[in-house]
Amino acid sequence: MSFANRRQASSTHLDQRGSGENHTIARRARLFLKVSAAAVLVSAFMCILFPGQWLMQMQFLTNAGITVDDVAKMSPILSMFMISSFAGKMTAILNGDRAIRTFCRWNLCATGCLVGLSLRYRDLQSITIWSFFFACYAYFGFVGDSSHSSHE
C-alpha cells in the first residue's frame, strides 16, 4: 500500500468504521476545533491590540504578578504562540479525523498546564474554562478509538 493510500485510509478512519455515533463524534470534534481555533485567533489579536483586556481574561496571570506593561512587552511572542496553536488546530482539521485525535491528545499537555496554573493562582474562571477544554480534548482524543489499531 502506498504512502498516499495509507494516509487517506487513516485520515478517514472514523468514517470507514461506520456511520452513527462515531461519525457524530468526528463532526463534533471538527466543530470544537474550529470554534477553539477562532477563539485562540481572537485572543492573539486581543493580546496585541488590547493587552489590558486580554490580561483581565487571564486573571491567573494577574494573580501571579503579571502586569499590563508585562503583557504589552510580551504580546508579540504570546500572540505568536497563540497563532501557532491556531495553525495546529487548522492543520488537524484539514488532515482528517486521525489528525484531530492526535492533536487533541497532545494538546492535553498544554491545557493541563493551564488548569494547573489556574489552580495554583486560584482563578475560578480560568479553572472552569481550561477544565472544559481539557475535558473536550480528552473526549475527542480518546472516545471512539477502540478499533484504531485494526485499521492500520
| Domain boundaries defined on the chain | 3-143
pLDDT tens readout for residues 10-36 = 444 444 444 566 788 889 999 999 999
In the predicted model, is pLDDT for residue 149 greater than 50?
A: no
Range from 23-27, 85-89, 132-136 carrying the lowest mean pLDDT:
23-27
Angle value at C-alpha 85, between 36 and 9, nearest 5 degrees? 80
Confidence of residue 2 (pLDDT cuts 50, 70, 90): low
On whether the CB atoms of residues 40 and 82 are closer than 8 A, the answer is yes
Phi-psi region of 20 (alpha: psi -120 to 50; beta: other; left: phi over 0): left
